[in-house]
A and B are shown apart, each in its own frame.
Chain A
Amino acid sequence: MKHLFWPALLAALLAGCSGAPSKDALIEDRGVKAEPAKPQEAAKPADAAKAAEAKAAELKAADAKAAESKAAEARKAEAAKVQTQALTSAVTEVKPLQTGAATGAVQTHNAAASPLRDPNNPLSKRRLQYDYDSAAIKEEYGAILEAHAKYLKGNKAANVILQGHADERGSREYNLALGQRRSEGVSKALQLLGVPDAQVEAVSLGEEKPLAEGNEEAAWRQNRRVEILYQGE
């Protein structure tokens, strides 16, 4: 049964992913127009009638703008408050996040005790990598997912968080959504292997936590991934 299961699962997941063919854009670069506005023209409809001498009168007229000035004043006071507050107390310090990339540094003294950290156990394999614009799980990860599914079914208290990642190209928020699709693909695979939904949370870190820095495919390939983290790690 198992031999049939994986190709079927992969086919199902692949079917859900559409590769987008690259096409050239049809956008027109418009020519730029001459700048129309000049002070002379601006003067015409405005207040050509007003004489330059009317200093006091005009300032009174400008006082009709008093309401605006008051509003401006309120905004200024508010802006000043923001700066003051922010400079003194508004900095919100937050605690560090442990990511999959950091698991190697976590509690190494337990390495012998837990199968999750035994390098000879497939459970220690926590990373799945992906092709460009794809959330399809590669066949090579089948054994790893089966090992995690078996462990989770046998350890009902264990929970995993699946962190999806994307490479850096394009919109950060769209990449967050792409990473989510990847982590949910792994979540669905685990559920199909019998893991209860409650033990798995699929999330995405988008392009924000790359494994490799660099603006080329070698780095991007490493960064398109899902990391499996057990609770407490």
Chain B
Amino acid sequence: MAATLSRLAPMPRFLLSLLLLLLASAAQAAMTIEIIGGAARKIPVAVLPFSMAQPGWLNPADVVTSDLSRSGYFRLLDTRDAGPLDDPRNVPLPAWKGKGADAVVLGQVLPAANGKVEVRFWLLDAVRQTSLLAMAYTTTPAGLRIAAHRVADAVHEKLLGEPGPYSGRIAYILKRGGRYELQVADADSQNAVTVVSSPEPIISPAWSPDGARLAYVSFEDRKPVVYVQSLADGTRKAVARFRGSNSAPAWSPDGKRLAVALSKDETSQIYLIDLASGVAARFTRGGALDTEPVFSPDGQWLYFTSDRGGSPQIYRAALAGGEIKRVTFEGDYNVSPDLSPDGKTLAFVHRRDGRFLVATKDLASGQTQVLTDTTHDESPSFAANGRMILYATLVGGRGVLATVSVDGRVKQRLTQSGDLREPAWGR
């Protein structure tokens, strides 16, 4: 409803959110984000308030400031006394340099045809006094928040040389009031929407490569069954409801196949389901437990967890067939593989001294690094920019979501009333 309203009328999105928050019960409280640590040297940036053609619209500068500040890579300068500017030539760059800024962001929001708005912005180098970037996005007034995330992505990429993570979406399970909700939210945890609500557990949400569908495992029918649900209309289909357990869905990069773990023939083996025909073809064999498959981004390999060597470890098999190779060797418990978008880094959960920790392995060098210092980490999932990993952990006995940068320096925590678990970052 909120989205419809704000699309029909150019109503301020943040006011509407505020209204919804006030109306909602305590259980509806939004997630809060806590930053734990950050880069050693944060880039000082001043984000000036955008010049707004209509005062009621969401000012993108607020979202850009919040995104960049939360990332741990930037230090945001106070711009409260700075008036909005819509011409980069009028920015007093020496003055901002004097206040310690390395970069200045300014922009404006203008009416465009058909009730749309145009978001223009500039990124200036305060030290060299040059322009680094000038771009424009067209959107609806309701889309200003998403456009602002894209501005933050562009600024992040220009200043750090890697794509920003701010415009992505996340899916996760929220357990509250005895129910399990599969929710989808912006990467900053705003705009959370419940797409499935069930009295029984839901686990393992997985985004289709185009972001239009979610696969997940639901226990509503006395056993685990794999569903694929369209986010556009909420319709869903049981794609694996075989005898025994059906779980651990993972999408092929072309979105045409799902790898799943089925027990229809033998204890937890991996199968490939062709989504058009519904046919499940067996991929692994042998009496060991095989589960948690994930495709490499090039579609050539399947990584999965197996206890075929006596303890759960991550293995790799070519989809074309051939030898299955063990990938992890450190310790006796390495599970839940996920691959970076470039296919070069494996994230997984590693057990050490009874603690479950998020670790990465550089697949070329074999170098392994533990990134977290918590104790019950689960379900690591790479951001689309490949620089951050989203995972679930326990704090004070309660499930929270957390992110860690791949260098282990920048950590954030997302909390909400109720238990959060099973996060997946949309590609």
Contacts and interface: CB of A to CB of B under 8 A. Distances in A.
Interface of A: 16, 18, 20-30, 32-35, 37-40, 42-43, 46-48, 50-55, 58-59, 61-63, 65, 69, 72-73, 75-99, 161, 163, 169-174, 176-178, 180-181, 184, 201-206, 208-209, 215, 229
B223 A171 contact: no
Nearest to B248: A173
A56 to B, nearest CB: 10
B2 A82 contact: no
A204 B330 contact: no
Nearest to A176: B247
Contacts of A46: 132, 158
Contacts of A86: 184, 193-195, 231, 234
Given A90-B195, A176-B291, A208 B201 contact: yes
Contacts of A24: 331, 352-353
A34 B7 CA distance: 45
A78 B143 CA distance: 11
Given A39-B125, A50-B131, A80-B140, A202 B263 contact: yes
Interface residues of B, number: 117
Nearest to A185: B267
A79 B356 CA distance: 35
Contacts of B39: 35
Contact of B409 (A32, A52, A78, A95): A32
B245 A176 contact: yes
A209 B222 CA distance: 11
B247 A90 contact: no
A116 to B, nearest CB: 17
B330 A25 contact: yes
A59 B43 contact: no
B283 interface: no
B333 A27 contact: no
Interface of B: 1-4, 7, 39-41, 43, 73, 87-89, 102-103, 120, 122, 124-140, 142-143, 146-147, 150, 158-161, 169, 184, 191, 193-201, 203-204, 212, 218-224, 229, 231-234, 236, 243-245, 247-248, 261, 263, 267-268, 287, 289-292, 305, 307, 310-312, 330-333, 335-336, 349-353, 356, 359, 367-370, 376, 378-379, 394, 397, 407-409, 421-422
A14 B202 CA distance: 32
Given A25-B352, A82-B184, A173-B336, A40 B1 contact: no
16 contacts: A25-B331, A26-B331, A43-B125, A47-B130, A48-B128, A78-B232, A80-B142, A87-B3, A90-B193, A96-B200, A96-B220, A97-B220, A99-B222, A174-B289, A204-B223, A209-B219
A84 B140 CA distance: 14
Contact of A203 (B130, B139, B146, B222): B222
Contacts of B267: 177, 180-181, 184
A24 B332 CA distance: 8
A180 B356 CA distance: 22
B88 A34 contact: no
Given A52-B89, A76-B139, A176-B291, A84 B3 contact: yes
Contact of A37 (B3, B143, B161, B312): B161
Q: Which of B103, B150, B212, B291 has the most CB of A within 10 A?
A: B291
B159 A92 contact: no
A88 B233 CA distance: 10
A99 B140 CA distance: 48
A50 B129 CA distance: 11
B2 A55 contact: no
B287 to A, nearest CB: 7
A35 B73 contact: yes
Nearest to B6: A80
Contact of B131 (A21, A58, A77): A58
A203 B268 CA distance: 10
B134 A61 contact: yes
Nearest to B44: A39
A212 to B, nearest CB: 14
A22 to B, nearest CB: 6
A47 B201 contact: no
Contacts of B367: 28, 30
Contacts of B218: 94
A91 B335 contact: no
A91 B336 contact: no
A40 B351 contact: no
A215 B397 contact: yes
Contacts of B287: 16
B407 A33 contact: yes
Q: A-B pairs with the 6 shortest C-beta distances? A: A90-B234, A203-B223, A25-B331, A208-B201, A58-B134, A177-B268
Nearest to B88: A52
B36 to A, nearest CB: 15
Contacts of B120: 59, 62
B370 A29 contact: yes
B134 A59 contact: yes
B310 A20 contact: yes
Given A27-B352, A28-B369, A92-B234, A170 B224 contact: no
